Amino acid sequence: MKPLNYFEKYKDISVFTLRCAFGLRLVYGTQDNILSWEQMLEFSKFLESYHFPFPLASAIVSVVAQFAGGIMFILGYHTRLAALIIMLNFTVALVFVHWGDAYLNLAPALHIWIVSFFLLTYGPGKIAIDSRR
């Protein structure tokens, strides 16, 4: 056995950890909008400043997608569908909000997009509700 192959047995824990870390990031990043209508209105004004059509509806759709997607990532429930939705949401964010930003400003959105792409293609791993169906 090659020395680095030792870590192969941890790949499902690794995917679970990645899902939980980014799922928690999504939930944490949107919980203020879920719990406070004022915060949702503030996000709507932010989207309006970038000329999004129907900024309040756009804000609600984005927040619900991220919050639900985060929970789905954590649970490993319909992980690929959640990843696709999160990728679409963050593609919009990257193109219409962060395009031209410095790397450090766009990195959080880009990293969520990259992890979602990984989960879309790799799947949730064995430590997931999806693996029990």
Q: Measured in whole angstroms, how far is the alpha carbon of residue 79 from the centre of its chain?
A: 11
Does the pLDDT of residue 132 top 90, yes or no? no
Cα separation values, 122 from 4, 97, 117, Å: 21, 28, 8
The pLDDT of residue 133 is above 90: no
Q: How far apart are CA 32 and CA 63, in angstroms?
A: 10
pLDDT in tens, 58-81: 999 999 999 999 999 999 999 999
Binned at pLDDT 50, 70 and 90, residue 126 comes out as very high
pLDDT band for 33, please (50, 70, 90 cuts): very high
Cα–Cα distance measured from residue 82 to residue 72, given in angstroms and rounded to the nearest whole number: 6
110: Cβ–Cβ under 8 A, 6 or more apart, which residues? 90, 94, 98
Q: pTM of this prediction?
A: 0.91
